[in-house]
Amino acid sequence: MGLGLVWPDQSAPLPSCHSLLRPATMDVRSAMPHAPHMSLDFRELRVYRASFKLGVWAGVFARALTDRVDQRLGDQIVRSARSVPANIAEAWRKRMYPAHFASKITDAEAEAAETQVWLEFAYYDGLIDSRLYTSHVQAYDKIISQLVNLRRTHNAKHTTPADQETGSQKRKQTQLAANLPRHKQLIRAEPAPNAKSTSQAKRAD
């Protein structure tokens, strides 16, 4: 069943991916001789290294497809899989701007989830076996979890006391706005004070 691709076993029958499909602890910079060593470089992120490795596999997988319909599916997997590390890199360069950082990390999460869907189609089309499908889905689940933690940690570090106070005020305003229609209903339901006595006095006149 499938193309005979193996992940992450080193005995993959495709020789072109043998040197690239390494354990998750691999240093991706070793495969990029022109990448500068920086203490805060995005290549230092484990989530980037894991997603990059999966993106490399996606290209190997797509090149092994021969049917035109299958090739289109392979192109989708390559596009979404490689968008994950690309968005992580872009987010890391924008980390001084929390809103932009969160936006790009969220895009990376979405691309990872999309890749899971395309992998599911590949599995049902018989292009990959159950073991390969399961290992990839679990790998992307871990990547998504790492991205969520990265986004939350970054937001927490860049939240100032003024932002917290503003957020608290906004929550109070939202609660008041949500309760306002209910207060109006109660006011309308209650009769006006002395309304009955006033109407009786008018009749007597």
pLDDT at position 157 is 76
pTM: 0.62
* Protein fold of 15-159: de novo design (two linked rop proteins) (1.20.1440)
Per-run averaged pLDDT (10 residues), the chain, 205 residues: 45 37 41 45 92 96 93 96 96 92 95 97 95 96 95 77 57 69 56 56 57
Using CB atoms within 10 Å of the CB of residue 113, give its burial: 0 to 12 exposed, 13 to 18 middle, 19+ buried.
Answer: middle
3-state secondary structure of 128: coil
Q: Alpha helix (H) ranges present in the chain?
A: 46-63, 68-93, 98-124, 130-157, 161-189, 195-204
Say if residues 74 and 65 touch (Cβ distance below 8 Å): yes
